[in-house]
């Protein structure tokens, strides 16, 4: 039984996901489209489980697993081998650990693989080509666990209740209350674990914390059903007229689209209510669509909507890796257009022809039947070539991206430099000192090291070797994911140890938090007299004006007027004029691109020249 108007639910979910991936900066909350799919899956699977129990008096677990395997695995396998030839068009950084990515995708463990490797759609480095299969991993984990739970519930009910009708009623209620309790437990876990986090990937990707949309969908499946319908739902069908069903469906879908404009991946409220609200709205849309099916016995869904819904799963699988690849080869709008065309073409081929043949059925291409016998030779030839290409690309894949390698090397150099610097400071402290003056003729406090102390984040770490060689008398302390409060701690520690140099350069801000003003002023006030301060504005090519990093840059530019010992190194302005140094990167880091190293050092040196003309902090 195909329920009409459910296609709209799938289309809304797909539209939100594609909009988020294609226009992440403009449509920041489109990731909630995945929660629509989760809720719908929970509804559909649970309703079918109840139907099976009502018809046969049992729920057959291994038949359920077999059906899920045949629906999920063939499209996933095809998407992997059909995408891999496209990876030969981009640089090898995009193949980093591709073998492990493929293994995680096909093993339905991508969600935990991404948690362990720090992956995300908003990854600061090279995005994983198969990061989007995290949702399939959670879905398959839900099927495995929920299928077993329902199977055990069914056995228990049939053991104690002989009447088929009474057994069905008890089974429905037991499944309903189990779904409700599990959804509450999962959401409560997300709510509590999200507290205090700055990276929410671990709660977003976890099947434990992000499993509740499936169970909310299961609740709706128990209430609305498909073939097995509760008396209460039959009364609802009678009480709701057509306009009410349409209104609820339209309003809930519009609210979901609007919510996508508001939610952000890195905001706490997303995990403490935003995703739950989107799940409830998805449940309402599904409920209304189920009623609309009963109210429109003589109407059909638009064929275009039905087609998009049919191929939506495959489109989801194809679009992300294709978009990542195409967006490195052309402007974004062109990449989006090409991704949509190629994704739908490959998805149509997969859904209508290849998948049916792979599970022993007859495929269809428009009005023509396609059998295994007809396509056996070209299918096997193409399969061998595609698997060979995948194996070749996997063999070429590096273990680290160029940027990650630079960061790793930078860490090693930093450790060596820090030991040498501490040794030099200890030796210098044993020698008598004389009064020194700076370039402006001002006295330098006794014992204060000359030169520049640079405290930075991963951007600085990526160019550390070049920067250290081209900024005279400099010491560099840089670390990935460093925020302003952590830079404050480094500065205080160096200051207390007597190794903080006269001019302090703070290259922090891409990871700016909501309290960026307070954290910046902590540095300004904690800096001891006799120093100068240079603040380097952060740059992110993807940042909108309302991002914390953008607001921090604007705020930092206002400080020299109030504090004459502060100078601005305007990296944000300089970097924006040279987009070529970020080609093929995440728009923040330029590790491995020499022109980026040169530009970064020029901005620092130019600011230092200006700072040398300003007074010291009194």
The residue among 346, 370, 396 that closes a domain is 396
pTM for this model (two decimals):
0.80
Residue 617 lies in a domain: no
Q: Are residues 391 and 409 in the same domain?
A: no
CA dihedral 321, 325, 331, 332 (to 10 degrees): 10
The residue among 396, 418, 447 that closes a domain is 396
The pLDDT tens digits of the residues spanning 257-273 come to: 999 999 999 899 999 99
Q: Which residue range forms the structural domain that includes residue 383?
A: 6-396
H/E segment holding residue 569 = strand 566-569
Tell the burial category of 381 from Cβ atoms under 10 Å away from its Cβ (0-12, 13-18, 19+).
exposed
Q: Are residues 298 and 437 in the same domain?
A: no
Residue 410 lies in a domain: yes
Residue 22 lies in a domain: yes
Residue 119 lies in a domain: yes
Q: What is the mean pLDDT of residues 528-554?
A: 89
Q: Are residues 422 and 343 in the same domain?
A: no
What does pLDDT average to over the chain? Answer: 89
Is residue 413 over pLDDT 90?
no
pLDDT of residue 409: 60
Q: Which of 11-20, 147-156, 334-343, 457-466 has the lowest mean pLDDT?
A: 457-466
Residue 277 lies in a domain: yes
H/E segment holding residue 516 = helix 516-526
The residue among 396, 423, 438 that closes a domain is 396
Residue 300 lies in a domain: yes
Q: What is the mean pLDDT of residues 159-177?
A: 93
Q: Are residues 190 and 142 in the same domain?
A: yes
Bridge partners of 456? 478, 507
Q: Are residues 448 and 585 in the same domain?
A: yes
- DSSP per residue, 142-161: HHHHHHHHHHHHHHHHHHH-
| CATH number of the domain to which 517 belongs | 3.40.50.1110
pLDDT classification of 440: cutoffs 50, 70, 90: very low
Q: What is the mean pLDDT of residues 196-206?
A: 89
**Contact (Cβ atoms closer than 8 angstroms) between residue 463 and residue 601:** yes
The pLDDT tens digits of the residues spanning 287-345 come to: 999 999 999 988 889 999 999 999 999 999 999 999 999 988 888 899 999 999 999 99
Half-sphere exposure of residue 274, counting CA atoms within 13 Å on the CB side? 23
Q: Are residues 383 and 441 in the same domain?
A: no
Residue 618 lies in a domain: no
Q: Are residues 331 and 232 in the same domain?
A: yes
Distance between CA atoms of residues 479 and 454, nearest Å? 11
Q: Are residues 427 and 390 in the same domain?
A: no
* Better pLDDT: 86 or 406: 86
Q: Are residues 480 and 443 in the same domain?
A: yes
């Amino acid at each position: 039984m195909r329920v009409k108007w459910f296609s709209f639910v799938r289309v809304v979910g797909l539209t939100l996901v594609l909009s988020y991936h294609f226009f992440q900066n403009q449509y920041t909350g489109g990731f909630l489209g995945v929660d629509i799919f989760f809720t719908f899956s929970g509804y559909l699977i649970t309703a079918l489980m109840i139907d099976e129990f009502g018809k046969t008096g049992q729920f057959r677990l291994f038949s359920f697993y077999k059906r899920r395997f045949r629906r999920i695995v063939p499209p996933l396998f095809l998407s992997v081998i059909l995408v891999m030839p496209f990876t030969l068009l981009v640089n090898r950084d995009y193949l980093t650990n591709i073998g492990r990515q493929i293994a995680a995708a096909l093993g339905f463990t991508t969600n935990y693989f991404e948690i362990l490797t720090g992956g995300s759609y908003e990854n600061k480095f090279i995005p994983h080509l198969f990061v989007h299969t995290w949702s399939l991993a959670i879905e398959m984990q839900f099927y495995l666990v929920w299928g077993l739970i329902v199977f055990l519930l069914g056995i228990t009910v049939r053991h104690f209740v002989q009447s088929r009708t009474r057994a069905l009623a008890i089974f429905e209620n037991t499944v309903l209350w189990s779904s409700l309790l599990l959804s509450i437990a999962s959401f409560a876990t997300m709510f509590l674990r999200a507290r205090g986090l700055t990276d929410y990937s671990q709660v977003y990707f976890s099947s434990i914390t992000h499993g509740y949309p499936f169970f909310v969908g299961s609740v709706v499946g128990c209430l609305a059903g498909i073939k097995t319908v509760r008396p209460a739902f039959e009364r609802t069908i009678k009480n709701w007229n057509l306009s009410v069903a349409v209104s609820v469906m339209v309003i809930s879908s519009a609210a979901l689209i609007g919510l996508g404009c508001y939610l952000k991946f890195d905001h706490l409220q997303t995990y403490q209510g935003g995703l739950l609200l989107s799940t409830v709205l998805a449940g309402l849309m599904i409920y209304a669509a189920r009623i609309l099916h009963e109210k429109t016995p003589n109407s059909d869904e638009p064929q275009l909507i039905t087609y998009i819904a049919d191929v939506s799963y495959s489109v989801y699988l194809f679009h992300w890796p294709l978009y990542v690849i195409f967006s490195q080869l052309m402007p974004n709008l062109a990449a989006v257009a090409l991704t949509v065309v190629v994704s739908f073409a490959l998805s149509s081929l997969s859904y209508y022809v290849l998948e049916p043949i792979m599970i022993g059925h007859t495929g269809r291409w428009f009005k023509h039947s396609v059998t295994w016998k007809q396509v056996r030779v070209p299918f096997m030839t193409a399969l061998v070539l595609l698997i060979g290409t995948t194996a070749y690309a996997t063999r070429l894949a590096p273990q680290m991206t160029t940027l990650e390698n630079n960061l790793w090397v930078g860490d090693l150099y930093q450790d060596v430099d820090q030991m040498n610097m501490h040794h030099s400071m200890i030796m210098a402290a044993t020698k008598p000192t004389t009064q020194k003056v700076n370039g402006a003729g001002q006295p330098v406090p006794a014992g204060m090291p000359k030169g520049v102390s640079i405290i930075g984040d991963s951007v600085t770490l990526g160019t550390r070797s070049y920067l250290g060689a081209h900024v005279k008398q400099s010491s560099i302390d840089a670390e990935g994911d460093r925020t302003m409060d952590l830079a404050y701690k480094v500065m205080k520690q160096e200051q207390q140890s007597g190794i903080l140099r006269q001019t302090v350069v703070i290259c922090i801000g891409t990871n700016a938090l909501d309290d960026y003003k307070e954290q910046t002023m902590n540095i300004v006030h904690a800096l001891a007299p006799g120093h100068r301060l240079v603040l380097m504005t952060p740059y992110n090519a993807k940042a909108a004006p309302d991002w914390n990093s953008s607001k921090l840059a604007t705020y930092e530019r206002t400080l020299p007027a109030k504090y004459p010992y502060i100078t601005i190194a305007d990296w944000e302005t300089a970097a924006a004029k040279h987009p070529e140094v970020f080609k093929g990167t995440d728009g923040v880091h330029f590790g491995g691109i020499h022109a980026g190293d040169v530009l970064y050092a020029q901005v620092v040196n130019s600011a230092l020249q200006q700072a040398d003309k300003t007074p010291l902090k009194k």
